[in-house]
Amino acid sequence: MKNLDRVDSYRGGCHVGNVPKDKVVEMRQKLKEVAINKQEPRWTPQVWVLDAIKLLKDENWAYAGLSEVFTRRELQKDMLRWDTVEDTVYERVLQELETGHSVAPTPVALSVEEGKSPSAIIPPKAKS
């Protein structure tokens, strides 16, 4: 996780669960087994993510109530946070690891107008 700040194409993520330290190697191996089928017209990287989350749920490493709708919405919001240089899930999780306390994300609302892509509606930051 500490290497994500070096990945130029990283655009956010979604915290889907927690994996015990002694299971990280096993998790990585299992995720390598999630199919990537670029020849299948309906396959997209999002399909891989959803398949990977299903695997994590099967192993009880993902939050039980996690749904596809929630995951897609959170990924969209975090990408918007990334685009507007707000706090991404990566930054929040690192802060949680350092402090031991949960960190709430900056509120981001998705607005979808007919024929247009989602855009962020971010409330102004309070003046200090």
Does a structural domain hold residue 12?
yes
For residue 114, name the pLDDT band (cuts at 50, 70, 90): very low
Report the domain count for the chain. 1
pLDDT of residue 115: 39
- Model-wide pTM > 0.85: no
Does a structural domain hold residue 127?
no
**Segment 78-86 mean pLDDT:** 73
Range of the domain at 91: 4-121
pLDDT at 75 > cutoff 70: yes
Does a structural domain hold residue 126?
no
pLDDT of residue 88: 73
**Segment 55-77 mean pLDDT:** 88
Closest alpha carbon to 104 in 115, 112, 116, 96: 96
- CB neighbours of residue 128 within 10 Å: 3
